[in-house]
Amino acid sequence: MLQSCIRKVTQQLVQSTFKPSYLKSCNRLTVLEQTWHKIPTAYTLRNMADDVTSGLDDTQVKLLAEECLLVDDNDKVIGSSSKKECHLMTNIEKGMLHRAFSVFLFNSNNELLLQQRADAKITFPGYWANTCCSHPLNVPSETEEEDAMGVKRAAQRKLKHELGIEPEQVPLEDFHYITRVHYQAPCDNPIWGEHEIDYVLFLKKDVTVKPEPNEVQNYVYYNPQQVKELLQRAKSNTEKVSPWFALIAENMLDSWWEKLKNLDTIKNHDRVTRLK
């Protein structure tokens, strides 16, 4: 990859430095000798070759600068790092783990709001997922631990950002913190992946949805049977479903769905469930 980058830069420098008539009159060695001092160092080229954000959506790349919360296996905050660093598989394979959340919003018909992630997304573009999935940031309002209040504020913020759901329609007191799950999954693009302790938040509200196209390309309301059919299509490779949603849906969602009227009976804040 580095050699290819060197060849490309050399060719561009030669073409921009010399007129075509001069190039025809000189041998290759003369041209290279006069060009070589303009070629960046190997260190610079290596950085260029390793730029994992090259060619990605500009808006999504800017979001990679957000500071996520690093946690240990028991969800204790141990620091922070950029969204980019948290989602690089090279770091995940070394154990980097961050805090996240997954919102499950049900309407008055007990149907679950699902979103299809935009193709511009860096991780799992085009995949179906639960209502909203993201991260609390390393800011005071989203690091408050009591009753997962920081996570709830982050969820309210992202529901507005991704789906255009106004905060007034999803007040913080209506979020139900159910439990936490720990999972790891690589993306189709092996550079990127997920390794999260994911707070599961339930919400029962009728809301107005106005998706941000850079985040969400489609949305639906599904009943339990339709979710099962979606998961089945994913297994037959006719649909794509995010790994966190698939793991939660296959292991927990059915029993939770049955108890929407009594969510306190399914809450478990004492331990983190490991899903594989």
Element of type H or E holding 161: helix 149-163
Which whole-number Å values give the CA distances from 55 to 37, 42, 104, 221, 265, in the listed order?
28, 22, 32, 33, 47
Which whole-number Å values give the CA distances from 122 to 127, 132, 135, 173, 227, in the listed order?
11, 16, 15, 32, 24
Q: Which residue has the tokens 């260190």?
A: 43
Q: Give the pLDDT of the chain (276 residues) as one tens digit per residue.
A: 444 444 454 455 444 444 444 444 444 444 444 433 434 444 443 443 348 999 999 999 999 999 999 999 999 999 999 999 999 999 999 999 999 999 999 999 999 999 999 999 999 999 999 999 999 999 999 999 999 999 999 999 999 999 999 999 999 999 999 999 999 999 999 999 999 999 999 999 999 999 999 999 999 999 999 999 999 999 999 999 999 999 999 999 999 999 999 999 999 999 999 999
* Cβ atoms of 115 and 162 closer than 8 Å: yes
C-alpha span between 93 and 196 (Å, rounded): 13
Structure tokens at 62: 């800017």
φ, ψ for residue 105, nearest 5 deg? -105, 125
Three-state DSSP at 148 gives helix
Q: Active-site residue numbers?
A: 133, 196
